[in-house]
Structure 1
Amino acid sequence: MQVKIKNQPFYLQSTVVLFGLILLVYVLSQLADILVPLAFAAFLSILLNPLCNRLERLKISKIFSIIIAMVIAITVVAVVFYFLSTQIVQFGDSLPMLKKKFGEITINLKDWIHGTFGIAIAKQDQMVKEALNNSQSMVGKTLGGLLGTLSIVFLLPVYIFLMLLYKTLILNFLYEVFSEENSKKVSDVLSETKSAIQSYIVGLLIEMLIVAAMNSAALVLLGVKYGILIGCIGAILNLIPYLGGIIAIALPVLMATVTKDGYSTQLGVIIAYIVIQFIDNNILVPRIVSSKVQINALMSIIVVLLGNQLWGVSGMFLSIPFVAVLKIIFDRIDDLKPWGKLLGDNIPTHHKGEMWRSRSRRKAVLSDHDQEKIKD
């Protein structure tokens, strides 16, 4: 006996949906160590797929095409990490000096707080200690997320190779698991998903390179120590929508505070980063990050925070492309189209309530007019 949920009362529908979401979140949370590497591998496999196809058209066997594509990708990543590691080594050499300077600034800050607000230095130390104790669990979770992200690196090559190798098998399964009359919708969803993920990831990489160059140039011109390293880190953090940009500004401001006297450099950093963010948000993102699926700002912030709560740092990076795929699916299913509209960035000029009230008023005016005609 089948029970149609749509015919049930609203409270029953909402209860079923709520329990379904709770079960889904629980499964995603418990299987994070398995699902996170698989999710990254799926997105990167889609990104490398065109290169594999091009190599296969050159009469190279499928296995060797996959290996060559992966070697090229790993080489690019290794070059980037080598560049960053050389900068980090230089940063480590100056760490004792930076620690001493930071200690002096901390003492001056405590004296200023004591003189301005009357809070004793011992009381300030106690407040800082309590704050650190309260944040231990959050720091532990963040470190756990970072370690989980590092562990992904060892699983990714295996998953990517196997996904590209069994690509045809996976696609046939997706077609066969749905009825034949839905083959057109399945084909549209797969095609748009592939295009959306490819354009999104490639666009993000190009945007990251341009932002890294602008950040580094601005910090070097302003004389901020380790400007290239901090500029590149800021560009990587910028991949986290909205929240990463705030952290990216804080890093060079903190470095300028520790290494320079006065506040002119910090002000210059803030102005430079505001200009760079304006260029990024209004020129680079609309023109370069040319994903076919646009998620509005409110939903972007919410899903990034939810992704962080669910899967940590990895969840923040995966949240936007994952929701983009969901929107493609929602737009293809009649019952889920309202959810697709909620995720999108197309803002309607009028809401349904205004349209309904406008129709009601017109009907009322017409009704009064008809009654006047009858009286005449």
Structure 2
Amino acid sequence: MSIKLKDQPFYVQATAVLFGLVLVVYILATLVDILVPLAFAAFLAVLLNPLANRLQRHGVPKVLSIAIAMLIAVLVVAGVFYFLSSQIVQFGDSLPMLKKKFGEITINLKDWVQSTFGVAIAKQDQMIKDALNNSQSMLGKTVGGVLGTLAIVFLLPVYIFFMMLYKPLILNFLYEVFAEENSKKVSEVLSETKGAIQSYIVGLLIEMIIVATMNSVALLLLGVKYGILIGCIGAILNLIPYLGGIIAIALPVLMATVTKDGYSTQLGVIIAYIVIQFIDNNVLVPRIVSSKVQINALMSIIVVLLGNQLWGLSGMFLSIPFVAVLKIIFDRIDDLKPWGKLLGDNIPTRHMGDIIKNRRKRKAVMPEAEQ
């Protein structure tokens, strides 16, 4: 006789769920070098698939259509890197002057700390040295992660090509692995997942272009040097949900501090970025990015932090679309629908506690009415 898990006591169910989560997290952390490039490749393959399908409808062979779609994507990425590299070259020409100016500001800051808080300059230097020594291991991990990411880039085209080539095989497997009565739900999950991923990635690209334009225009109007470069970097950092926008403010503020006297420019940068963030969070994200990925803000922040803890920077980028796919699956399975509601952004007008109390009151009144 089979025993269902949902018929067991709560502590048994909680233990089984916790064990399953621990096992999944262990597998994800152990196989990070394999799963991260596969995850990026899957998302990019879904994004490029409509272009390849359109080419095939115009009579282009399947293999050639996939190659053309990937070539177009590579050319777009190469154009962006060429634009950024040209700006970085100009930044490198002024690096000695910026380094000298930054050194002068650092000396003035140390003198202010000594006169205000009584901390000797030698002690400040020692504190900075200790902080740098403590962060060497973190820096090593970061450099290692960057090198690993560069190695992944060479595998991505291979993964993307074969995923697009063997798409019918993968889809048939997903249909056949589940019972035939669930084929409709599988079809709905696959269709919504494809739409959510495409909407999310395209929305992010459009949002990044708009934010980069607003950042660059604001910095150029304020007279911040290398405003276009810093504005574009800020837009790229803004792709990290909720956290990247905060980090992006530090770059133009630091540049304004190094290249300009006084603090009016820094104040203008902070105000401009706050306005841009307000427009981004209240206009661009809801209308462009979140049209398909309906995850509430609390869960978005939590999953981004968890993604960073699990897979680093790659996990921060992948966390939102990954959870969006989970929500689509949860919404199609009766036992998991509460988890889907928890991830969603639909706030109920009444909570279950009030509903249960009202039901109990009605049950208590009904016997009296019958009497």
TM bucket, shorter chain:
over 0.9
Q: Distance in 2 between matches of 1:307 and 1:143?
A: 19
Is 1:56 aligned with 2:28? no
1:229 aligns to what?
229
Alignment of 1:15-34 (within 5 A): 15-34=15-34
1:215 aligns to what?
215
Count of aligned residue pairs for this structure pair: 371
Q: Distance in 1 between matches of 2:12 and 2:93?
A: 63
1:131 aligns to what?
131
Alignment of 1:161-176 (within 5 A): 161-176=161-176
Q: Distance in 2 between matches of 1:149 and 1:325?
A: 24
Q: State whether residues 48 and 69 of structure 1, in contact with CA within 8 Å, keep that contact through their aligned partners in structure 2.
A: yes
What is the letter of the counterpart of residue 10 of structure 1? F
Q: State whether residues 240 and 317 of structure 1, in contact with CA within 8 Å, keep that contact through their aligned partners in structure 2.
A: yes
1:244 aligns to what?
244
SS at match of 1:12: helix
SS at match of 1:22: helix
Q: Distance in 2 between matches of 1:364 and 1:111?
A: 75
Q: Distance in 2 between matches of 1:151 and 1:104?
A: 39
1:152 aligns to what?
152
Deviation of 1:356 after TM superposition, in Å, equals 1.5
Q: Which moved more, 1:109-118 or 1:139-148?
A: 139-148
Q: State whether residues 141 and 312 of structure 1, in contact with CA within 8 Å, keep that contact through their aligned partners in structure 2.
A: no
Is 1:109 aligned with 2:109? yes
Regions of 4+ moved over 6 Å: none
Q: Distance in 2 between matches of 1:44 and 1:14?
A: 36
Deviation of 1:342 after TM superposition, in Å, equals 0.6
Alignment of 1:1-376 (within 5 A): 2-364=2-364, 370=369
Deviation of 1:281 after TM superposition, in Å, equals 1.1
Q: Distance in 2 between matches of 1:49 and 1:278?
A: 34
Q: Distance in 2 between matches of 1:111 and 1:359?
A: 70
Deviation of 1:108 after TM superposition, in Å, equals 0.9
Q: State whether residues 142 and 313 of structure 1, in contact with CA within 8 Å, keep that contact through their aligned partners in structure 2.
A: no
Q: State whether residues 293 and 321 of structure 2, in contact with CA within 8 Å, keep that contact through their aligned partners in structure 1.
A: no
- Aligned-CA RMSD value: 1.5
Deviation of 1:144 after TM superposition, in Å, equals 2.5
What runs of 5+ residues in structure 1 fail to find an aligned partner? none
Among the aligned pairs, what percent are the same residue?
82
Q: Distance in 2 between matches of 1:6 and 1:310?
A: 30
Deviation of 1:363 after TM superposition, in Å, equals 4.2
Deviations 1:204-239 (CA, angstroms, capped at 9, x unpaired) = 101100110000010011111111000000000111
What runs of 5+ residues in structure 2 fail to find an aligned partner? none
Q: Distance in 1 between matches of 2:110 and 2:361?
A: 66
Q: Which moved more, 1:138-147 or 1:198-207?
A: 138-147
Q: Distance in 2 between matches of 1:345 and 1:140?
A: 39
Please, what TM-score do these two structures have when normalized by structure 1?
Answer: 0.95
